[in-house]
Structure 1
């Protein structure tokens, strides 16, 4: 059976150590019909030199130049790559296991599937938690699975590039479009990726995430969306307050318990 070419795209900026970690994870895959595409935002930490040393590898493509942010770089990677399927593993992300891609070759080979997604290992400062996808209906208002634990057809990413009007959740805009356009989603029962979520943009800017998701879904114009935003505002304020009065060791335990029942906006 012919297996599809997968393009793994990594966006990076001044994160050479993280990029090395991601590259090791990519090349460790036992699925060999893949290419590794690195989009570097003109880093000054030796990234371009490291990439240049690997220019002879025919499975690797890269550019190092200024961009307009992460989603501009991701769009650039999509235009540059050749794969039928695209997976985004930005610097610091990694596959959950060496056979993450080979486990889902059947789903990727099915011409009916447009997006294939699974679970993600979320890495926080209190440890790692495996988070499973939620029901796809959630895509009507926010992400239902982690972007790093998904693969999308390149043709769809060409048809609907990441919208730079949404600097934090343009990935949600893409999946929301897929969902409302009737594209076929296929869930697999595997952990596909490890995602370092502690310092992610969406983790640091929860209210901005909510506002952008509301603009995409139209929920910002509803009473439910307004009440949700007010509730999130109080929660964010409370979280800032209790960090000053509760020992950090106890905070980690509370966050671990709380996070185990939530899903990441990633």
Structure 2
């Protein structure tokens, strides 16, 4: 598979690591362009490519001059890796700032002032991890998701990594495990929660992220979460049983799809999906942003 992992930004001591698993796409390019047009003070930007054989590196190199004009240090690194979490660990090794935030190619900050607002917040002094809300994007539809309480960490991520800032020293001490393909970030934050690290919530949307990534497979996500919970030093039997129950529900849903829903006319299924999404609060770009 052609892979690209991008990058590293420093913004007043905050590094943002942008990650992707495919060749450069319009959304990937828009992420780079947005960064060029948004940030006005010192940042560092690094693209770490997974030794791709297409035009990825060449296209990335076309931005060298644009970064130079902004006086932004810009590097392109191309090397093989063992998956997304290996790439995240490698990219983190390039960081020198105090805070790190991971984003995927195609994701955006909720607005151009986010890093400035966070970097000026007094809560940074006492926090180990700072997190906020997120806006989900699926093509041209958007949904605001408020971070859940930390008590729900025992069942799953109460926030997404795109909306959380973590002290670099913690990520250096506890690199992402390569045992997991989807939920290694959950394992890291769950471990930090059990060790009593200080989490601070900011009531604002930090990022807009595309839900069609590697973690969009809910069943695969829950299977990995179950493995993580079963291996944690602090075993939470109630949480384990809850996740097992959700997996059983997934099995029933899969059965319904294979033996019922797929025989329903496509137009009816689309209308039902549209109705359920509107009921859940999804809005078009025009409706969401006004």
Q: TM-score, normalised by structure 1?
A: 0.86
Change (3 A) 1:238 1:149: farther
Displacement of 1:153 in angstroms is 1.1
RMSD over equivalenced CA pairs, Å: 2.5
Contact 2:50–2:78 under 8 Å retained in 1: yes
Contact 2:135–2:142 under 8 Å retained in 1: yes
Partner of 1:263: none
Task: Find the structure with the greater CA-based Rg.
Answer: 2
Q: Give 1:5's match in structure 2, choosing from 13, 23, 28.
A: 13
After TM superposition, the structure 1 = structure 2 runs for residues 4-153 of structure 1, keeping only pairs within 5 Å, are 4-12=12-20, 13-30=22-39, 32-55=41-64, 57=68, 58-107=72-121, 110-125=124-139, 127-153=141-167
Displacement of 1:30 in angstroms is 4.0
Query: What residue ranges of structure 1 are gaps of 5+ in the alignment?
Result: 261-266
After TM superposition, the structure 1 = structure 2 runs for residues 227-238 of structure 1, keeping only pairs within 5 Å, are 227-238=245-256
Change (3 A) 1:185 1:249: same
Displacement of 1:113 in angstroms is 0.9
Change (3 A) 1:212 1:259: farther
Q: Deviations over 1:133-191 (max 9, x none)?
A: 00111111210012111111111111111111110111111111111111111111111
| Aligned counterparts of 1:236 and 1:165: Cα–Cα separation in 2 | 26
Length, aligned pairs only: 256
Change (3 A) 1:247 1:54: closer
Instruction: Determine if the alignment matches structure 1 residue 163 to structure 2 residue 177.
Output: yes
| Aligned counterparts of 1:26 and 1:222: Cα–Cα separation in 2 | 41
Greater relative contact order: 1 or 2 (C-alpha under 8 angstroms, separation 6 or more)?
A: 1
Contact 2:48–2:77 under 8 Å retained in 1: yes
3-state SS in 2 of match to 1:152: strand
Query: What residue ranges of structure 2 are gaps of 5+ in the alignment?
Result: 1-10, 231-235, 283-290
3-state SS in 2 of match to 1:80: coil
Higher deviation after alignment, 249-258 or 183-192? 249-258
Partner of 1:202: 215
Partner of 2:7: none
3-state SS in 2 of match to 1:257: helix
